[in-house]
Structure 1
Amino acid sequence: MITAILADDEPIIIKGLKKLIPWEQQGIRIVGEAWTGRGLMELIERERPSLVITDISMPDGTGIDVIKEIERRGLRTKVIFISAYQEFSYAKEALALGAVDYLVKPIEKDLLLDAVQRAVSELMEESEEQHSKSKLAVYEHKDRKTQLEELFDRLLDGDIRQADAEEKLRSLHSGCIHNCYTVLLMEPEQPADDSRWGEHEKRLLLFAVGNMAEELMRRSSAGMILRKGDRLCAVVNHKDETRMEGLADDIIRNAEIYLKIVLTVGIGEQVYGAEGIKGSYRTAAEALGQAFFSGVGKSIIWSGDYKAAPVTERELGDSRQSALQALLAKDRSRLTVELDRLLGLIAGYSAGSREKAVMACYATLIEWSEGLEEVGIMQGEAGTKDQGHLTAMQAVGRYEELLEYVREMADELFRRLSTGGSGKDTQQLLTVKEFIETHYMENITLEGVASKIYMNPYYFSSFFKKHTQMNFKQYLTKVRMKQAVKLLLQTDMMVYEIAEKVGYNNARQFSDMFKKYYGKLPQEYRTQNGPKM
């Protein structure tokens, strides 16, 4: 089955793409989703998909950068671009670089289906052409080691049948006589101030590490060491009872003693038969990715446990709000408790994914900024929406550094609130907005809300408009419409049900208000902004 990755910096776009066409009927399995250019390249490196459908403009790397990197690495991945930018220059460059198609949002189902079917046809034609060539004729002109390296590289990519691979292993006298295989993925720590890490020096150092690792591996096992980018990959063939932790630790120790470098090793899942090597490689990469959370300079054994995220988006959102409330209350001890809890939830939510951890922390800063602006505090000052925060967080090398960045931002916000003051008016406004945000679905009135802060209704009306630049009814409508849009785009609820959920007893009145607010009736808005984007 053809594998595919979907990428867009808006999760709702990815959700819409998944629903827009019957992927399984086209023989396609979606194996990953990405929200940044870097995250997309990491997924492509790990999954080696046949097809990528991506927004051409994303944080931390454009689609053009991605397709150039795919070409540079010699991958056979087909790319379909989507974009909100209807600029010919983008389309021209994308198609010139070999993209299958360039689709402009909102995406039409038939256009996407046509582009996907053309990509599938191209993949099938290339596959048939590749298989029609006689690889045996090519192998005859290569030495045995080169042939083995090429064979193991194909096994890592999963583009050779097990029977053919095992026959070739026998004919090349590879020494792989056991049924068990485990992949070790080795990554040297790269200090920024170390002059050895120019491209030439890096190549020599990886060569030295490879030789050392191969010598250790040959003492009790067979296999091959290959370079994969800035990493080394050891495909180890061993007895069933042999565990790889000892070999990995020996490699790490020797790298430190003789080469004076810090080496981290990801140990993949033990598999049976050459056909499983691709899966062991993928899990070795996942294990190595855990170094971001657990630290470098050691061996990390793959475990499927961290793949399931026990923390939900809702739990994360609630915790962010609790920390924000502690900030607004200028309660240092409460903020410390809430921040510790939030950062613990982010660890669980990330489930071993560096990108998810970064994006969860970045979303936290954005939500805090928006929350402060909502009550008129520090509008335009905190700057947490600035792309610089995302760039800075993506550059950190350790999870602890990421958490420290969030703590520092929380401290900065706390200092600004403490020195700038929020005053009695702000506290009252915060109380009012909290009440509206949690009771908008009820029949709340200006008089009822004014009583929550013990204020005369007439004075409250003036007070509210002064601090929000809109009257109470306008603000209540804004909150209700905002919630209505969420329900329209994220649920299958009927319009009359949504009307009741956001505080309208009359569906017609709700529809009229929605059209006045957004220029479209609810169902029209859903059709134009829902799964078809």
Structure 2
Amino acid sequence: MLKEIGRLGYGAKVIFISAYQEFSYAKEALALGAVDYLIKPIEKELLLSAVTRALSLLREESEERRTKNKLAQYEQMDRKTKLEELFDRLIEGDIRIEEAEEKLRLFGHRFTYPRFSVMLLEPEPQTDIRWGEHERRLLLFAIGNMTEEVVAREAAIVLFRKGDRLCAMINHSRATSVKKLASEVVMHAAGYLKIALSAGIGEEQSGVEGIRRAYRTAAEALNRSFFADGGAVVCWAEENWESRASAKELGEARDRVLQAVLKKDRGLMREACEALLESIERHAGGSREKSAMAAYGTLAEWADGLAQIGIAVEEDELQRHLDKLQSFGKYPQLKAYMLEAAEGIFQRLETGGRESRQLTDVKAYIEQHYKANITLEGAASKIFMNPYYFSSFFKKHTGMNFKQYLTEVRMKQAIKLLLHTDLMIYQIAEEVGYNNARQFSDMFKKHSGKLPQEFRASGDGKQP
């Protein structure tokens, strides 16, 4: 029995209880791993002692196995981390090919297949405010586990995170369809995780030296999923991604929208907008970045057109447009935003001429009277506007509330006086509208990070 237990590799502990008193039996039992060999009739103390020793041995072996398993896990994790770092350096071009191949040999990682591909995975952005970095990390972890399980059935895979994307470096045979594997991953993401997952597959390569190009082309492919529905799989294909609308065509489409706006023809404007958005898509040639910049260029040209008729568009408003355009995960979102922006410009034209003049008058009033104790109510009365409406009106057109804007004007003037006059601090405070020098100093430090005396001593802002 002991021989069979040993052969099968069971971790049992055996105590023999026998009426046979031959020494040879006991000797053989102990040699084969028995904890003890007890002779009947059994003494209770001897049995308890043997059981205690058996339990102790089981605990020791269990702890030893746990320790070995932990060490193996740590070793595996360390090896995995080093492999991820190696391939990250390869795709960034941060390591020589010969050095990378040598490191792979040292890791004992043998790629037996002739082909290399890169698959980039990106979940559709989650708009729920509860989705923080921790939730995104868990989501990518789940996607990564699922991807490794699918791909490992047919190929070798090294998977790691690149920003909000997952990069899967796949070593596979010629018969393996990486697109089919990606489609399966995308399908599982929709079915099990209830998310839309896009995949970009790069150009196949025949060696480690091609991994950087495989990654770059996978990134291009993934960017082109911007124009596809959620859950798209896009394979790199250079010949299909050329721009099909020239810059001249794009410019003409933009101008038609602006002319429709200036004619105050809303129906014509919407029709021209739809045509423009088709032109942007054809001009982008599948590129997310190119479509965002074409849309931004459109808004900038529209702003110039409005400026020519006296309707100003603030620079920070254009920057907010750019940030928003670059944040969209899919082209339909960008289209909806541009249609909304066109409608906003139409509405601005209807009221914008009057509002622009009102804003100019208010700014001139502040520039002329910042030394006095001017108030929001007083400024509102200058353009015959209700103070509550004026507050919203001013914030919409300047990006600041009235008090912030007044402080900005006063601080700019204070800086000029500090740098180019010898006036005392209390005199400068009075010059820019503060009766209390301490209040002025506190406000100046909050604005510039330094007290007025420190600012003047440091010479900040002086031209060389």
TM-score, normalization: structure 1? 0.47
Say if 2:231 is the partner of 1:297: yes
Is the alpha carbon distance of 1:421 and 1:231 closer, same or farther for their aligned partners in structure 2, counting shifts above 3 Å?
A: closer
Is the contact between residue 265 and residue 298 of structure 1 (CA under 8 Å) also seen in structure 2?
yes
Contact 2:225 2:233 in 1 (8 A): no
* Paired residue secondary structure (2:121): strand
- 2:289 aligns with 355
1:289: Cα distance to partner?
A: 1.4
The letter for the 2-side match of 1:152 is F
Aligned to 2:93, which of 158, 162, 169?
158
CA separation of 1:330/1:221 partners in 2, compared to 1, >3 Å: closer, same or farther? same
How much has 1:332 moved relative to structure 2? Answer: 4.2
Q: Where does 1:371-520 land on structure 2 (aligned, <5 Å)? A: 371-374=305-308, 376=309, 379-380=311-312, 386-415=318-347, 417=349
Residue 242 of structure 1 aligns to a residue whose secondary structure is coil
- Describe how 1:108-187 pairs up with structure 2 within 5 A: 143-187=78-122
Q: What's 1:233 paired with?
A: 167
Structure (1 or 2) with the larger CA radius of gyration: 2
For residues 332 and 251 of structure 1, do their structure 2 counterparts lie closer, same or farther at Cα, with a shift above 3 Å needed? same
Match of 2:194, SS state, is coil
Mapping 1:23-38, distance limit 5 Å: none
1:192 aligns with 2:127: yes
Preserved contact between residue 175 and residue 223 of structure 1 (Cα < 8 Å): no
User: What is the CA–CA distance in structure 2 between the aligned matches of 1:386 and 1:161, rounded to whole Å?
Assistant: 43
Which moved further from structure 2: 181-190 or 309-318? 309-318
Q: What is the CA deviation profile of residues 75-129 of structure 1, one whole-angstrom value per residue up to 9, with x for unaligned ones?
A: xxxxxxxxxxxxxxxxxxxxxxxxxxxxxxxxxxxxxxxxxxxxxxxxxxxxxxx
Identify unmatched segments of 5+ residues in structure 1: 1-139, 423-533
For residue 309 of structure 1, give the secondary structure of its aligned residue in structure 2.
coil
Partners in 2 of 1:321 and 1:330 — Cα distance? 14
Structure 1, 302-311 or 361-370: larger mean CA deviation = 302-311
Read off the aligned partner of 1:390 and give its amino acid letter: L
Whether the aligned pair in 1 keeps the contact of 2:270 and 2:339 (CA below 8 Å) is: no
Aligned ranges 1:60-99 → 2 under 5 Å: none
Q: Deviations along 1:248-272, whole A, 9 cap, x unmatched? A: 1111222233333332211111111
Match of 1:325 among 241, 259, 262: 259
Call closer, same or farther: CA 1:344–1:217 in 2, change over 3 Å: same
Label 1:320 to 1:171 Cα distance change in 2 as closer, same or farther (>3 A). same
Q: CA deviation at 1:387?
A: 3.3
Q: Residue 161 of structure 1: CA displacement?
A: 3.8
* 8 Å Cα contact 1:162/1:273 also seen in 2: no
User: How far off its partner does 1:275 sit?
Assistant: 0.7
Change (3 A) 1:165 1:263: same
Return the letter of the residue paired with 1:392. K
- Distance (whole Å) between structure 1 residues aligned to residue 315 and residue 158 of structure 2: 50
Kindly tell me: are residues 330 and 241 of structure 1, through their superposed partners in 2, closer, same or farther at Cα, counting changes over 3 Å?
Answer: same
Question: How far did residue 385 of structure 1 move?
Answer: 5.6
Give 2:148's aligned residue: 214
Q: Of residues 246, 255, 272 in structure 2, which corresponds to 1:338? A: 272
Which letter does structure 2 place at the counterpart of 1:321? Answer: D
| One-letter identity of the residue aligned with 1:340 | E
Partner Cα separation in structure 1 for residue 200 and residue 286 of structure 2: 13
Amino acid at match of 1:338: A
Q: Is the 8 A contact 1:184 1:248 kept in 2?
A: yes
What amino acid maps onto 1:359 in structure 2? Answer: M
Are the equivalent residues in 2 in contact too, given 1:225–1:232 (CA < 8 A)? yes
Quick one: distance in 1 between partners of 2:335 and 2:159? 36
Aligned residue pairs: how many?
A: 280
Equivalent residue, structure 2, for 1:224: 158
Whether contact under 8 Å (1:327, 1:335) holds in the other structure is yes
Contact 1:316 1:346 (C-alpha < 8 Å) held by counterparts: yes
**In the aligned structure 2, how far is the partner of 1:354 from the partner of 1:244?**
23
Are residue 267 (structure 1) and residue 205 (structure 2) matched?
no
Q: 1:322 to 1:199 in 2, by over 3 A?
A: closer
Distance 1:141 1:386 in 2: 50
Taking only the aligned residue pairs, the percentage that are identical comes to: 46
RMSD: 3.2
Structure number with the higher helix fraction is 2
Cα distance in 2, alignment partners of residues 219 and 416 from structure 1: 59
Contact 1:187 1:264 in 2 (8 A): yes
Secondary structure of the residue that 2:294 maps to in structure 1?
helix
Paired residue type of 1:217: V
Counterpart-to-counterpart distance in 1, 2:300 and 2:79? 56
Calculate the TM-score normalised by the size of structure 2.
Answer: 0.53
CA 1:214 to 1:337, structure 2 compared with 1: closer, same or farther past 3 Å?
same
Return structure 1 stretches of 4+ with deviation > 6 angstroms.
381-384, 418-422
| 1:272 partner SS | coil
Deviations 1:168-204 (A, max 9, x none): 4345343411221110111223313163x33333333
- Find the aligned partners of 2:320 and 2:144 in 1 and give their Cα distance: 38
Q: For 1:372 and 1:292, how far apart are their aligned partners in 2?
A: 31
Equivalents in 2 of 1:147, 1:313: separation in Å?
Answer: 46
Answer 1 or 2: higher relative contact order, Cα 8 Å, separation at least 6.
1
Paired residue type of 1:199? E
Over residues 220-253 of structure 1, what are the superposed CA-to-partner deviations in whole Å (9 max), with x where a residue is unaligned? 1012111222221110011123221111111122
Question: Out of 194, 219, 222, which is 1:285 matched to?
Answer: 219
Contact 2:311 2:349 in 1 (8 A): no
Contact kept, 8 Å, 1:181 with 1:235, in 2: the verdict is yes
Q: How far apart are residue 210 of structure 1 and its match?
A: 1.6
